[in-house]
Amino acid sequence: MNVTGTLVGDSLRPGAQFAPPGTRIRRVYRLDLGGTAAPTQPGVWTVIDFESDDVAAVAEALAAALNPDGGWYADLRDGADRVVVYAGAVFRYGPGDAETRAAAIAHGRSVGVPEHQLDWDDATT
């Protein structure tokens, strides 16, 4: 299955690499947050949209590479499922799984992700 995801390049911890086999870059762009970044985050992000055939490899690589400081996460789509990855933690949930989605959001809050950044869209279309 084709997994799609978004990674903020600035969210990688110093010295980390994100290079799971079979991962392809779809788009790289810069995003000015207009003053809405957390105090520990830069005001302009390098955003990388990617795809892969192996959600487990991507989630594992992200969990190992994301900076635990600064309130960072990456999110993936695997069919109808959403996979939200923090440093050392992976949450996967399908449509209607409000409990796991809430746990992913609660974890984000606990590691300093600003509330307005916990707004990923679960729509599948």
- CA dist., res. 101 & res. 107, Å (int): 10
pTM for this entry: 0.89
Instruction: Bin 88: left if φ > 0, else alpha if -120 < ψ < 50, else beta.
Output: left
Q: pLDDT per residue over 63-116, tens digit each?
A: 999 999 888 999 999 999 999 999 999 999 999 999 999 999 999 999 998 888
Which among 42, 80, 46, 48 has a CA at the least distance from the CA of 61? 48
